[in-house]
Amino acid sequence: MQKSLHLNADKCTGCLQCEMACSYEHEGIFNPVKSSIKVFAFHDEGRFVPYTCTQCDEAWCMTACPVDAITLDAATGAKVVNESTCVGCKVCTIACPFGTINYNSSTGKVTKCDLCGGDPQCVDACPTGAITYVEADATGFDRMKKWAKATDTAGAV
Amino acid sequence: MAWTNTILRINLTTGTIAKEPLNKEWAQDYLGQRGLATKYFTEEVSPTVDALSPENTMIFATGPLTGTMASTGARYSIICKSPLTGAMACSNSGGYFGAELKSAGYDMVIFEGASPSPVYLSISDDDVELIAADDLWGKTVWEADEMLHKKHQDPALKVAAIGRSAENGCLYAAVVNDLHRAAGRSGVGTVMASKNLKAVVVRGTKGVGNLFDAKRFMTSVADEKKVLAENAVTGEGLPALGTQVLMNVINEVGALPTRNMQEVKFEGASKIGGEAMLEPRESDGKPNLTTNAGCFGCTIACGRISTVDPTHFSVKDKPEYHKNSGGLEYEAAWAVGADTCVDDLDAATYVNFLCNEDGFDPISFGSTVAAAMELYEIGAIKPEETAMPLDFGSAEALVWCAEQVAQGTEFGKILGMGSKRMCEHYGHPDLSMTVKGQEFPAYDPRGIQGMGLAYATSNRGACHLRGYTVSSEVLGIPVKTDPLHTEGKADLVKAFQDATAAVDSAGLCIFTTFAWGMDNISPQVDAACEGNWSVEKLLEVGERIWNMERDYNIKAGITGEQDTLPKRLLKEAAKVGPAEGRVADLDKMLPEYYSVRGWTPDGVPTDETRSRLNLA
B588-599 pLDDT, tens digit each: 999 999 999 999
Residue B86, CB half-sphere, CA atoms under 13 Å: how many? 15
B354-394 pLDDT, tens digit each: 999 999 999 999 999 999 999 999 999 999 999 999 999 99
A124: Cα separation from own chain's centroid: 14
Mean pLDDT across the stretch B432-457? 98
B242-280 pLDDT, tens digit each: 999 999 999 999 999 999 999 999 999 999 999 999 999
Distance CA B52, CA B194 (A): 6
Q: Are strands B119-124 and B197-203 parallel, antiparallel or unpaired?
A: parallel
What percentage of chain B carries pLDDT values higher than 70?
A: 100
pLDDT for position A32 = 97
Mean pLDDT across the stretch B4-26? 98
* Nearest residue in A to B180, CA atom: A43
B449-497 pLDDT, tens digit each: 999 999 999 999 999 999 999 999 999 999 999 999 999 999 999 999 9
pLDDT of residue A117 exceeding 80? yes
B234-244 pLDDT, tens digit each: 999 999 999 99
- Tell whether pTM > 0.80: yes
Task: Spell out where B24-115 has E strands.
Answer: 58-62, 76-81, 88-93, 108-112
Which residue numbers of A have CB closer than 8 Å to B's CBs? 13-17, 20-21, 23-24, 27-34, 43-48, 124-125, 127-128
pLDDT for position A155 = 62
> For an interface test with A, which of B219, B290, B298, B320 has the most A Cβ atoms less than 10 Å from its Cβ?
B298
Distance CA B127, CA B201 (A): 12
A93-102 pLDDT, tens digit each: 999 999 999 9
Burial class of residue A66, CB neighbours in 10 A (0-12, 13-18, 19+): exposed
* Nearest residue in B to A17, CA atom: B297
Q: Residue B163, SS3?
A: coil
pLDDT of residue B1 exceeding 70? no
Amino acid at B45: V
pLDDT for position A83 = 95
From the list A34, A46, A125, the residue facing B291 with the nearest CB is A46
> For an interface test with A, which of B102, B213, B288, B296 has the most A Cβ atoms less than 10 Å from its Cβ?
B296
From the list B207, B239, B324, the residue facing A33 with the nearest CB is B207
User: Smallest CA–CA separation between B8 and chain A, in Å?
Assistant: 21
- The angle formed by the CA atoms of residues A4, A10 and A15, to the nearest 5 degrees, is 85
Distance CA A101, CA B291 (A): 30
pLDDT for position A156 = 56
Is A29 in Cβ contact with B297 (below 8 Å)? Answer: no
* Nearest residue in B to A20, CA atom: B69
- B166-193: string of b/e by CB count within 10 Å (b at 16+)? bbbbbbbbbbbbbbbbbbbbbbbbbbbb
Distance CA B136, CA B120 (A): 9
Amino acid at A107: T
* Nearest residue in B to A38, CA atom: B156
CA distances from A60 to A45, A68, A94 (A): 32, 12, 9
B293 vs A: CB within 8 A: yes
